[in-house]
Chains A and B, each alone.
Chain A
Amino acid sequence: AIQLTQSPSSLSASVGDRVTITCRASQGISSALAWYQQKPGKAPNLLIYDASSLQSGVPSRFSGSGSGTDFALTISSLQPEDFATYYCQQFNSYPWTFGQGTKVEIK
């Protein structure tokens, strides 16, 4: 199975900060990667698909980049509602796997 390793596991940031979360795959997955945001007690919400395509309705401060084995999710200016846990997921091959998550907390 393809392993996805997210960095960092958690981070503290302030409103207005630029935040970048990385996701490294154990083998090449082309652009078959999605990013989700999850808030406590809620289902995950799709932010990015195909590594860099913004899901409809998601604010443009979210962006994704990368291909092959190295990917990133960037929040250009962190807003209060962005404090949550973020997960990457690969769709290159079964089993579809998730990263372990990155918790973004308020500094």
Chain B
Amino acid sequence: QVQLVQSGAEVKKPGASVKVSCKASGDTFTSYDISWVRQATGQGLEWMGWMNPNSGNTGYAQKFQGRVTFTRDTSITTIFMELSSLRSEDTAVYYCARGDYYLGNAFDIWGQGTMVTVSS
């Protein structure tokens, strides 16, 4: 059973950066795109972008362009999401999720979420 396990909660000051990891178990790490989705407390889901762990190709939602970077380390089957110039509005739970092409790219496996708090 494939799992996505994310790093722990973070508290950052405004203007700082945060880097969240998402480790995939199993041997299918490079076979699926990974997306990042965030959710502010009591709010809806917001898609941030995707990464293909095999090629390293990425795509970012325009809202986050220039502030977010996805990277990967295939040797440890881990994808990273780094968000810079943090502001209070970035306080949210951040999820990684696997997109399955054979399910119309729908997200069938999710990480447990990482709470990022931005506060002075």
Contacts and interface: CB of A to CB of B under 8 A. Distances in A.
Interface of A: 1, 31-32, 34, 36, 38, 43-46, 49-50, 53, 55, 87, 89, 91, 94-101
B120 to A, nearest CB: 26
B46 to A, nearest CB: 7
Given A55-B108, A94-B59, A96-B35, A46 B103 contact: yes
B113 A98 contact: no
A49 B110 CA distance: 15
Interface in B95-111: 95, 97, 103-108, 110-111
B45 to A, nearest CB: 4
B17 interface: no
Given A49-B103, A91-B104, A98 B45 contact: yes
Nearest to A97: B47
10 contacts: A31-B104, A34-B107, A38-B45, A46-B106, A49-B108, A91-B106, A95-B47, A96-B47, A97-B47, A98-B47
B44 A100 contact: yes
Given A43-B110, A95-B61, 5 more contacts: A49-B106, A50-B106, A89-B47, A91-B104, A100-B44
A71 B41 CA distance: 27
Contacts of A34: 103-104, 106-107
A50 B103 contact: yes
A98 B44 contact: yes
